[in-house]
């Protein structure tokens, strides 16, 4: 009896296998037949069948013949689950390079309404690309000869809008990462409630107050520098709105508004009002050549400070290079800014503002 049962099971199993083989053969045969009817040659059909699973055959068959399909699925960057999106985007951008289309679709962003281009393909691969800024990137990039990284940096920092245009109140909830620049301002009444005095070996100026966390970090940094025979001290930290009025007006009278704006902030737009930044040792260009300046560039980030207005980033910060001006942002942010050669504007746009939206 057992032999009969096992025999029946064996026959059924073999029958099922034969059926599946025939079914599979019939599906492939029917697919090939339909593909030939659509206009594909045998070589193209083989390529499609090697790259596309059966479940996606309908995606191919519902479209008219297009030899660019072969270019798409033959690309090293082809992703099977994006097949429909490649084809949809290609239909809207049939004159564009296939690789650009694949790169844009592979970004994972919903860019269907944006025409494919080599510029867009480069932009989506930038580390600090922000989707909501796409139209601005393209507008700026198409009218300025800049690298994709520079385009992303400038637009993220709002430079394309023009300094002091479309200004917004700084978000006080950002705490150590509060952004104050030529687009974000502080109310004239703002003063941090945790300012403490830098004294003794840590200070050499009248404006000698910093917010508590920043002050403690600066004193720790200055003590560490001393162990390396480097002496650093504050010469100007917190400044009130009224103080900045007098300072800025003095510079305008001396050099004119256009020149003054390069090195001095307008009242309410001065980072010094945050109580999180300070000028160190000497506010003179010669400071850049000192051992103190070199030590700060190499070590300040370890204590949560960044060089706020670095050389080569003047078009992003809106200010000339100031080797003496350091800003406290905390060690985590300072490390990212240092490692990736960012300004606070670039960091804030991607890691703070972008996360809010």
Catalytic site residues?
322
Find the helix or strand (DSSP H, E) in which 258 lies. helix 257-263
> Cα 183 to the chain's mean position, in Å?
18
Q: DSSP class of residue 185?
A: E
> Cα 219 to the chain's mean position, in Å?
32
Given a contact cutoff of 8 angstroms between Cβ atoms, the answer to whether 308 and 274 are in contact is no
Alpha carbons within 13 A on the beta-carbon side of 272:
26
Hey, is 266 helix, strand or coil? coil
Structure tokens at 79: 């992703």
Q: What are phi and psi of 226, to 5 degrees?
A: -60, -35
Structure tokens at 80: 């099977």
Report the distance separating Cα 145 and Cα 139, nearest Å: 12
Residue 217 to residues 22, 210, 236, 238: CA-CA distances in angstroms?
Answer: 75, 10, 16, 15
């Amino acid at each position: 009896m057992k032999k009969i049962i096992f025999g029946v099971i064996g026959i059924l199993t073999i029958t099922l296998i034969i059926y599946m083989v025939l079914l599979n053969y019939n599906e492939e045969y029917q697919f090939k037949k339909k593909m030939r009817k659509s206009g594909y040659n045998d070589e193209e059909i083989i390529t499609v069948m090697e790259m596309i699973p059966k479940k996606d055959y309908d995606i191919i068959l519902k479209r008219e013949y297009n030899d660019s399909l072969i270019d798409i699925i033959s690309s090293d960057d082809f992703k099977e689950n994006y097949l429909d999106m490649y084809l949809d985007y290609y239909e809207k951008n049939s004159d564009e390079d296939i690789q650009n289309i694949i790169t844009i679709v592979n970004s994972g962003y919903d860019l269907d309404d944006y025409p494919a281009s080599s510029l867009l393909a480069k932009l989506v691969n930038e580390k600090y690309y922000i989707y909501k800024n796409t139209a601005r990137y393209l507008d700026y990039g198409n009218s300025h000869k800049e690298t994709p990284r520079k385009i992303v940096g400038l637009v993220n920092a709002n430079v394309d809008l023009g300094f002091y245009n479309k200004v917004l109140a700084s978000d006080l909830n950002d705490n150590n990462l509060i952004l104050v620049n030529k687009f974000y301002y502080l109310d004239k009444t703002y003063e941090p409630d945790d300012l403490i005095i830098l004294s003794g070996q840590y200070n050499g100026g009248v404006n000698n107050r910093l917010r508590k966390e920043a002050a403690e970090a600066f004193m720790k940094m200055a003590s560490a520098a001393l162990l390396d025979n480097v002496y650093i001290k504050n010469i100007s930290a917190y400044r009130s709105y009224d103080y900045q009025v007098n300072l800025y007006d003095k510079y305008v009278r001396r050099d004119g508004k256009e020149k003054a704006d390069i090195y001095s902030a307008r009242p309410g737009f001065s980072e010094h009002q945050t109580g999180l930044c300070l000028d160190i040792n000497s506010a003179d260009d010669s400071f850049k050549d000192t051992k103190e300046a070199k030590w700060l560039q190499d070590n300040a980030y370890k204590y949560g400070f960044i060089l706020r207005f670095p050389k080569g980033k003047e078009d992003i910060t809106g200010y000339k290079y100031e080797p003496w001006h350091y800003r406290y942002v905390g060690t985590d942010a300072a490390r990212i800014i240092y490692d990736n050669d960012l300004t606070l504007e670039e960091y804030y746009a991607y890691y703070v503002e972008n996360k809010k939206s």
